[in-house]
Amino acid sequence: MRHLLLPLLFLLLNVVRSQDPNIPDPDSILVRGPRPQVLLVGSFHFAYYGLDAHVTDKEKRVNVMEPQRQQEMEELVDHIARFKPTAIAVEADPNTSKLMKRYRDYLRTDSLTRADEREQVGFRLMKRSRLDTLYGVDASELLSDLWNHRDSMQLHPLLDSIYADWDFTSADEISQRYNAWYNSFDDHHVSHTLLESFLYHNADKSLDRDFGAYLNGDFKLGSYRGADALAMHWYARNLRILRNIQELHLKPTDRLVVIFGAGHMGVLKHLLECTPEFELVKFGEL
């Protein structure tokens, strides 16, 4: 009995600490009035471009253009529409003229022919919400800017040394566990509806652990090479995405949906949870 009482005592003490009214709430100072709300919608790439570290086996790829999947797409958009968005941002460059042309074609024909989450989800949501603009908030990495800089010939040897063997193909134990998890994601897509898959992708634990994939494997190259490579590449890109979101100059009453590849969402979730500028709304709590 004594062995059971001690853990219970620690648990009760932690609960009391978490509810201690004497601990000030930073938001009493940092948050003033309503803030723009942001809903993150992390998606697998419907077209399976094969550009990510994990490549889905062909027999496990979901054809979102099949009639059953198109019905599921409507269910997915129904769920997101509960958020009542006033703006939609997608994984595209700020110049969205080509996307907007395809959106006008969609309005004219009521037909979506491309397996692209920006169109299958974004266009449907845009039409239903009666919005006329699709914002592109993607960005390049700092690495690209350094590589293409006018002094890049001087930088190339340094960058080459940092990024040697940085290829997302590590065989360490934790990376192998992540490979198994990503394969289980693919299995889940096949056997579940799109909404069920998106609920799984966008659950807090999934997003946090997905971000953790970048903190193993190549992250441990050298003393700091892996950390520096991540900072200049993936982390810099997502910081710039947040900066582009800030540049939308949303009103306090705005509700922004952000549709991106799921791999971005662990970082973006952390950034949006930390800044008092926005209120993050969880996908599973609509």
β 255-261/37-43 pair status:
parallel
Asked if 85 and 254 touch (Cβ cutoff 8 Å), the reply is no
Asked if 60 and 186 touch (Cβ cutoff 8 Å), the reply is yes
Contacts of 138 (CB under 8 A, 6+ apart): 90, 91, 92, 93, 241, 244, 260
Highest mean pLDDT among 47-51, 218-222, 274-278: 274-278
| Token pair recorded at residue 195 | 């909404």
pLDDT for residue 136: 98
* Whether the predicted pLDDT of 56 surpasses 90: no
* Whether the predicted pLDDT of 222 surpasses 80: yes
Mean pLDDT of the region 101-123: 97
Model-level pTM?
0.90
CA atoms within 13 A on the CB side of 221: 20
154 vs 197, more confident: 197
The 10 Å CB-count burial string (b at 16+, else e) for 113-142 is eebbbbbbbbbbbbeebebeebbbbbbebb
Mean pLDDT of the region 248-269: 98
- Share of residues in the chain with pLDDT > 70 (%): 92
* Whether the predicted pLDDT of 223 surpasses 90: yes
Measured N-to-C along each axis, helices 67-81 and 194-201 cross at an angle, to the nearest 10 degrees, of: 50
How far is 263 from 235, CA to CA, in rounded Å? 11
Q: Cα torsion for 26, 30, 34, 36, to the nearest 10°? A: -110
Q: What is the pLDDT of residues 28-39, one digit of tens each?
A: 999 999 999 999
How far is 78 from 141, CA to CA, in rounded Å? 34
Give the chain's domains with CATH numbers: 32-285 (3.40.50)
Highest mean pLDDT among 51-65, 72-86, 157-171, 212-226: 72-86
Q: What is the mean pLDDT of the chain?
A: 91
Any idea how long the chain is?
286
Q: Which of 18-22, 53-57, 66-70, 136-140 has the lowest mean pLDDT?
A: 18-22
Mean pLDDT of the region 147-157: 80
Q: Residue 30: helix, strand or coil by DSSP?
A: helix
E strand residue ranges, the chain? 37-43, 87-90, 135-136, 255-261, 279-281
